Amino acid sequence: MHSHAGGDRHHDGFQQVVTVDEARERLLAGVEAIERNETVPLTAADGRVTAAGLTATVDVPAYDRAAMDGWAVQAADTYGASPRRPELLEVLAAEAATAPTTTVRAGGAVRVHTGSQLPVGADAIVMLEQAEAVDGHLEVNSTVSPGTNVAPTGEDIRADQQLYARGHRLRPSDLGLLRSVGREAVSVVARPQVAVIPTGEEVVDADPGPGEVIETNGLTVSQLVERWGAAASYRDVVTDDPDTLSAALRAALDHDLIVTTGGSSVGSRDLLPEVVGELGAVTVHGVALKPGHPVALGMIDATPVVMLPGYPVAAIINAMQFVRPAVAALLGVAPQAPPTRRGVLTRKIVSEPGVRSFVRVRTERSDAGQWAVEPVMVGGSGVLSSVALADGWVVVDEPAEGVDAGEEVTVEFWEGLP
């Protein structure tokens, strides 16, 4: 975790600090949507991205069906019916059937339930409360017209109707719709393969000694990557040695994206940008965001590389800004906007002009019913608890010098994102 904890960003060794938007554009310019597909059952397709357009092959419903519990009738038999002058029909079947076993002839009625197939001969449904069965007859006290309370064939979906285009991220409701048209499996884009490589000679997997810290960034980033729709390969920590780092990067080139944590700054042990530059090219080193400006981006052969800073908060923020859109681009979709909430800031937050700041906050509903937004910690990119205990963050864009207490702000709930 050897990123700089501070310092003037113009004088701490970075050759060119670029904006978040410019850095993201440079990264995504080298990311191409993957073309590998796989077929998965609907039960495993939530959140997956369609690999091809999906078209219905059947009508839904496939038959005229009852839209209400009631009595299937021929509408003409009810004309003139009212509570004062009910029409009398013959009850042909008093028990609701799941199949149209009885034909409704003129002057007759058949009991049906919601969703059941409309019996042959019927063209309308009289609701239960509009009729009363007495001694084998039905007293109908309301006039219905043809089609009343009937869901016609194809009302929901017509055969040959396009349901989804390629590149649609499937939701639970989509899966229900696909099953309703007879699909049990769907072709989806294969999960992007993301190699996560934690680095640092002071970083250990367990039982830290003096001067050592437990590895958390790789775990956190791997779980985020999985949540965003990719498959993460999370390996053991790689020490700060050029040959070892180079070997680890070369071994990961069969992945669609490489993400490293630590060693991205300009200190004596921050070797990754130099190693990546020798194997390929570094396109960005230093981004105008806080916390976490010592992020670096590059390419080795055709594989994009995101070099995250070592401090935990900085690593998470940069993963959101760069890894997440890269995973979406590999899937061929746009990242979804985060869920947000508007609230009133309880304390002033300060931001450096020209830098995009991500201020961790908690939200709480006030007695007046408004949402109060409380900064968790304005500084400290190494304090992981300040993210875990926050609901989200307020983004202060580059031109601003901060936001005053009492101002209304937008909170981004970043962990609610797919």
Three-class secondary structure of residue 106 per DSSP:
coil
Peptide bond into 309 cis (omega under 30): no
For domain 340-416, give the CATH number. Answer: 2.40.340.10
User: What's the confidence (pLDDT) of residue 263?
Assistant: 80
User: What's the confidence (pLDDT) of residue 155?
Assistant: 87
The average pLDDT across 9-21 equals: 68
Backbone angles phi, psi at 128, to 5 degrees: -55, -40
User: What's the confidence (pLDDT) of residue 10?
Assistant: 39
Q: Where in the chain is the domain with CATH 3.90.105.10?
A: 39-59+161-188
Map tokens 């499996």 to a residue: 185
Q: How confident is the model at residue 269 (pLDDT cuts 50, 70, 90)?
A: low
Number of Cβ atoms within 10 Å of the Cβ of 81: 21
Nearest to 246 by CA among 280, 297, 213, 218: 280
pLDDT at 21 over 60: yes
pLDDT at 9 over 60: no
User: What's the confidence (pLDDT) of residue 44?
Assistant: 96
User: What's the confidence (pLDDT) of residue 11?
Assistant: 37
Cα–Cα dist 111/128, whole Å: 9
Q: Which of 56-65, 196-205, 269-278 has the lowest mean pLDDT?
A: 196-205
Q: Which residues make beta-bridge pairs with 107?
A: none
Fold of 20-36+190-331: Molybdenum Cofactor Biosythetic Enzyme; Chain A (3.40.980)
Alpha helix stretches (DSSP H) within 285-379: 312-318, 324-331
Pairing of strands 231-234, 257-261: unpaired
Buried/exposed 24-39: b ≥16 CB within 10 Å, e otherwise: bebbbebbeebeeeee
pLDDT at 8 over 50: no
The average pLDDT across 332-355 equals: 91
For domain 39-59+161-188, give the CATH number. Answer: 3.90.105.10
Q: Where in the chain is the domain with CATH 2.40.340.10?
A: 340-416
Q: Which of 14-23, 245-254, 343-352, 399-408 has the lowest mean pLDDT?
A: 14-23
Cα–Cα dist 210/215, whole Å: 15
Q: What is the share, in percent, of the chain residues with pLDDT greater than 90?
A: 67
User: What's the confidence (pLDDT) of residue 52?
Assistant: 94
pLDDT at 383 over 60: no
pLDDT at 344 over 60: yes
Map tokens 């926050």 to a residue: 390
Q: How many residues does the chain have?
A: 418
Per the model's pLDDT, the better-predicted residue between 32 and 203 turns out to be 32
Could you tell me the CATH superfamily of domain 65-151? Answer: Molybdopterin biosynthesis moea protein, domain 3. (2.170.190.11)
User: What's the confidence (pLDDT) of residue 61?
Assistant: 86
Cα–Cα dist 361/396, whole Å: 12
Question: Mean pLDDT of all residues in the chain?
Answer: 88
- Give residue-wise pLDDT tens across range 251-263: 999 999 999 998 8
Q: Where in the chain is the domain with CATH 3.40.980.10?
A: 20-36+190-331
The average pLDDT across 227-236 equals: 93
The average pLDDT across 66-92 equals: 93
The average pLDDT across 356-369 equals: 87
pLDDT at 180 over 50: yes
- Give residue-wise pLDDT tens across range 43-78: 999 999 999 999 999 988 889 999 999 999 999 999
User: What's the confidence (pLDDT) of residue 67?
Assistant: 93
Residues 6+ apart with CB under 8 A from 191: 229, 230, 231
